[in-house]
Amino acid sequence: MSIRSLLLLLICLALAAFVALNWGLVTQPTELSLLVSAVSAPLGLVLLGFTLALAAVFIAVIASMQTTLLMDGRRHTKELAAQRELADKAEASRFTELKTFVAEELVRLSRERVEGAQQLQTRLDGLQAALVQRVDEQANSLAAAVGQLEDHVRSGVARTGGAA
């Protein structure tokens, strides 16, 4: 039980005790003025009736406010659930877009790697062909130089008369 409820209960019990202890005075008739006429009635009962009517009005207002708050709370809960669902869908779509983007990037990078490997292989083949051609040229040049040296050595041997 909350402190407010306990305080309200204590006030109601005090009022009930006050009325019970003073019941004779509460029910004693008195002349009451109603602005246009006068009536003989128990003032205590009239005031007690007004107090109970006022309490009933306050209880009705509180019940109305509580009902309004509960309805607003439910409406807010539904709106929050709808917003949460929208956020979850948006997040899922972002993940799907990210997955698609990563897959496309992987395909692009794989294609670039294959193209780069092909270009490298083409370049290596060209360099190998150039190297083979150069080696052949050097071999031919060396063979020509050796041939000239042989001719030179033979002509030198022939001039000296074969006396070597």
Q: How many domains does the chain have?
A: 1
Q: How far is CA 6 from the centre of its chain?
A: 45
Of the pLDDT bands very low, low, confident and very high (cuts 50, 70, 90), residue 156 is: confident
Separation CA 70–CA 76 (nearest Å)? 10
Alpha-carbon distances of 156 from 144, 147, 148, 151, rounded to whole Å: 18, 14, 12, 8
Question: 4 vs 120, which has greater pLDDT?
Answer: 120
Q: State the pLDDT at residue 115.
A: 95
pLDDT above 60 for 164: no
Q: State the pLDDT at residue 113.
A: 95
Residue 27 included in any domain? no
Q: Name the average pLDDT for the chain.
A: 90
pTM here is: 0.49
Residue 89 included in any domain? yes
pLDDT digits (tens, 9 = 90+) for 34-60: 888 888 989 888 888 998 899 899 999
Residue 24 included in any domain? no
Q: State the pLDDT at residue 161.
A: 67
Residue 121 included in any domain? yes
Question: What six digits make up the tokens of 51?
Answer: 């107090």
Q: What is the dihedral of CA 99, 103, 108, 109, to 10 degrees?
A: 100
pLDDT digits (tens, 9 = 90+) for 66-115: 999 999 999 999 999 999 999 999 999 999 999 999 999 999 999 999 99
Residue 78 included in any domain? yes
What is the extent of the structural domain holding 66?
Answer: 39-149
- 43 contact partners, CB below 8 Å, separation of at least 6: 28, 30, 32
